[in-house]
Structure 1
């Protein structure tokens, strides 16, 4: 009869304790109660940080601009879109006007409450879906990105559109009409969810339901604007972007930003008082300013063709319900990222175009979407370091902040490369597979959203 060595027994005991501690920590950080508490703390912390500025009337950023638009419109003045050209689609009037109904003094408070409610709805949708896989990694990731990007997540229009896209994409398989309504409404607030709609139209078997619902939403908004006398301003949000110079945070602006820092003749930063943005100009930028939008549209058009080829090819290899999830997600991410990488305009809130897609990918296809999730966490941290943490240093062309911004933009290119590589593999590289096997990653129980 033999007995275990004391060292082996102690080692096994330590390993058991470590495993128990790890499991306990995972259970704690993935507890819905903990996730909800974290989300509430994030919103409350932002409110408390803004409170002194609100009391002094020194709150900067977009919210005072939104409040002024709402006050003028509801006070009997001229309404955006109805009375003059506007930088946003007509649907943005709803979230901008709604907080003003409760009075000008409560605008910021009501705004934050509404954004908190929107983020809460998205969190609950992710938690509910996460229960199928018995993991709340995606929900936790969503809360973490909300916290990191809080300065823009909670104070810009993307604070509404990002949660709408999360819920819309999760509803695509089970409630396609609601999905179409949410995605169309989000697009009429900010244009970027159109990337998701295009991916759905190309790759999803629910395309006709989403199209019909989206068309109905668009028709209702268009009719309201036309009846209100704003027909000539309905598409002004598109025209407002034409001819715009390079905004300093756009990836395309990187060479001219560095030219300005290095003192190259003719390269400089300037403030656009109309759009309240910082722009950059310099030698050789005229072609990019004139043709940048067309280059962006060309790249996105090529991605749509690639997505269509992948959809056609994989429809001959696998069951549609087993492949469309992957193609919609990867197609949406590639289009949204290209929208950022090849855009003359660049703002920190644009990162919120990507987080909803990755959150949904992480809850539906956890193994496949771990890489872009990690990359976007780094993107989020670098974005917040640039704005608002060191934004004045960026305007002063501090080299270290320029390096942070360049690193953030490089990571965006990596995210784009990841998604394009997946599309390319689906379109041209993937080998024939048995019916029901997915082309990306490992299977999960619910492959139809």
Structure 2
């Protein structure tokens, strides 16, 4: 029995003691000292409602009370939201341009869609290729993107084509974002694509090259884990617009090479046979390029731009769907450009043979080539093809931007400078076409200076890319070593980690066999339930 208070002082002391007791009982769990998760897991009730909610990060228990005091690190969603937001804004501007809500100086770049593509569409619907149209110079699978606006029958042809081009653009971004989140990779490649495509202006959506680029990007990113899928996509891309066949240049030797090439040959042969049997004139594109001249935007065209100021009697005409130089010595310059292309691919073949002779792609080789080599080789091959060609159309820049983006998905990629040069060349191309295209056609001083700048950036990007590819392969690929022997940077029989690849985790330490016992620990302030942790004897 409790003794009743005798006076007012005792009554006040009893009231204060009762308040302290009640305050201690009402104190939330967060007032006690929190234990690390590993120790708290040892005392959490198995299957308990509060314990399971705390482990899931719910609002009950200690985690819920401390939520307002803890700063949560940014998750992967926040890192992905920024490129997606910038992509949405820039692509909205591109759509406004192609729908002619916002205009740019110079010729209308959407004329190819509303006139040429739609004319091909009407002919292809009859079951034949447009053989009577000299502007049709594409492989048989190019009929698919031309016919693709039929998938959106509620829109007119040009509007449907622009929407599908935007979807292909979004596909490239999704592939690069997915690749950038993998271990040993980065989101720099996605940012290159987000920034690079709009630098070309409305031409990016007014040609079907963005669809081809999506196929090429998917093929390269699938090469490491799914070589057969990559080979099939490369072959399909080559039947869309030839150049994706160059992606095969960097496939590492061994089983992946055989699987990739077999899949490419099987897919290409099946599509060609189907097109030849179903639609007449599938191979007319093979001879369509024979009589072409030198396009006014190509590297060799700079000779005629300067020669016009010294009395060269040539003309600038719309020929085979592009603006070209026609006149004396044009054939000579075109043949020199073709010889330069052959020499460039001769260098690429030499690199390939040299790399294979030094066991490129063989993980047993001393300092085997890094993961970035297939990407870098594809980038270099397409740069060589584009720069030395007698035709450099503005949409070709999309190919280079896409491949540069794939290269920069890997951490430690050495193609940063070539990628920057390609982005600068893409921005210059927008000024050259369509903004100041009249100056280029007139061969005046601003037009020549702008064209020389753009082509000079392409030449610089090509030289730097090829040099880094050659030096990287020479430095990392050596003669094969015997199994079980040690190598620099790696233990016996284990190759060193590749550039851009996260090294394998170390083996876990053997757990201690010493018995453990629970040790009682009170909270820091001496209140609250006892805490336990396992300490070794």
Question: Is this a same-fold pair by TM over 0.5?
Answer: yes
Once the two structures are superposed, the pairs formed by residues 61-140 of structure 1 within 5 Å of their partners are 61-64=111-114, 65-74=116-125, 76=126, 78-80=128-130, 86-103=136-153, 106-131=156-181, 132-133=183-184, 135-140=186-191
**Counterparts of 2:431 and 2:230 in 1: how far apart (Å)?**
34
Task: State whether structure 2 residue 496 is matched by structure 1 residue 445.
Answer: no
User: Shift of residue 162 of structure 1?
Assistant: 0.9
Runs of at least 4 residues of structure 1 off by over 6 A?
26-30, 81-85
Deviates more, 1:395-404 or 1:355-364: 395-404
Aligned match of 1:6: none
Task: State whether structure 2 residue 342 is matched by structure 1 residue 297.
Answer: yes
Task: State whether structure 2 residue 298 is matched by structure 1 residue 250.
Answer: yes
Partner residue of 1:361 out of 389, 403, 407: 407
SS in 1 for 2:318: strand
For residues 396-427 of structure 1, give each alpha carbon's deviation from its aligned partner in whole angstroms, at most 9, with x where no partner exists: 22311221111111111111111221243256
User: Shift of residue 251 of structure 1?
Assistant: 1.1
User: Shift of residue 271 of structure 1?
Assistant: 2.1
User: Shift of residue 343 of structure 1?
Assistant: 1.0
Aligned match of 2:358: 313
**Counterparts of 2:390 and 2:101 in 1: how far apart (Å)?**
32
Equivalent pair of 1:245/1:279 in contact (CA under 8 Å): yes
Equivalent pair of 2:127/2:279 in contact (CA under 8 Å): no
Once the two structures are superposed, the pairs formed by residues 224-373 of structure 1 within 5 Å of their partners are 224-228=274-278, 230=280, 233-260=281-308, 262-272=309-319, 275-281=320-326, 283-290=328-335, 292-315=337-360, 319=364, 323=369, 325-373=371-419
Task: State whether structure 2 residue 465 is matched by structure 1 residue 419.
Answer: yes
Once the two structures are superposed, the pairs formed by residues 95-244 of structure 1 within 5 Å of their partners are 95-103=145-153, 106-131=156-181, 132-133=183-184, 135-200=186-251, 205-228=255-278, 230=280, 233-244=281-292
Higher helix share: 1
Equivalent pair of 2:219/2:230 in contact (CA under 8 Å): yes
Gaps spanning 5+ residues in structure 2: where? 1-73, 103-107, 479-486, 505-537
Q: Which has the larger radius of gyration?
A: 2
**Counterparts of 2:459 and 2:339 in 1: how far apart (Å)?**
19
**Counterparts of 1:225 and 1:51 in 2: how far apart (Å)?**
33
**Counterparts of 1:169 and 1:216 in 2: how far apart (Å)?**
18
Equivalent pair of 2:345/2:384 in contact (CA under 8 Å): yes
Equivalent pair of 1:259/1:282 in contact (CA under 8 Å): no
TM-score normalized by the length of structure 1: 0.81
How many residue pairs get aligned? The number is 410
**Counterparts of 1:304 and 1:359 in 2: how far apart (Å)?**
24
**Counterparts of 1:319 and 1:156 in 2: how far apart (Å)?**
45
SS in 1 for 2:317: strand
Aligned match of 2:518: none
For residues 127-161 of structure 1, give each alpha carbon's deviation from its aligned partner in whole angstroms, at most 9, with x where no partner exists: 12222357422111111011112422212121101
Equivalent pair of 1:42/1:147 in contact (CA under 8 Å): yes
Equivalent pair of 1:82/1:225 in contact (CA under 8 Å): no
Aligned match of 1:405: 451
For residues 19-66 of structure 1, give each alpha carbon's deviation from its aligned partner in whole angstroms, at most 9, with x where no partner exists: xxxxxxx99998322322322333332222233489xxx874321211
Distance 1:325-1:234 versus aligned 2 partners, 3 A rule: farther
Structural RMSD (CA) = 3.2
**Counterparts of 1:127 and 1:146 in 2: how far apart (Å)?**
15
**Counterparts of 2:253 and 2:395 in 1: how far apart (Å)?**
27
Equivalent pair of 1:331/1:423 in contact (CA under 8 Å): yes
Aligned match of 1:49: 97
**Counterparts of 2:186 and 2:376 in 1: how far apart (Å)?**
22
**Counterparts of 2:476 and 2:359 in 1: how far apart (Å)?**
9
Distance 1:102-1:324 versus aligned 2 partners, 3 A rule: same
**Counterparts of 1:345 and 1:134 in 2: how far apart (Å)?**
35
**Counterparts of 1:276 and 1:148 in 2: how far apart (Å)?**
23
**Counterparts of 1:188 and 1:216 in 2: how far apart (Å)?**
13
Gaps spanning 5+ residues in structure 1: where? 1-25
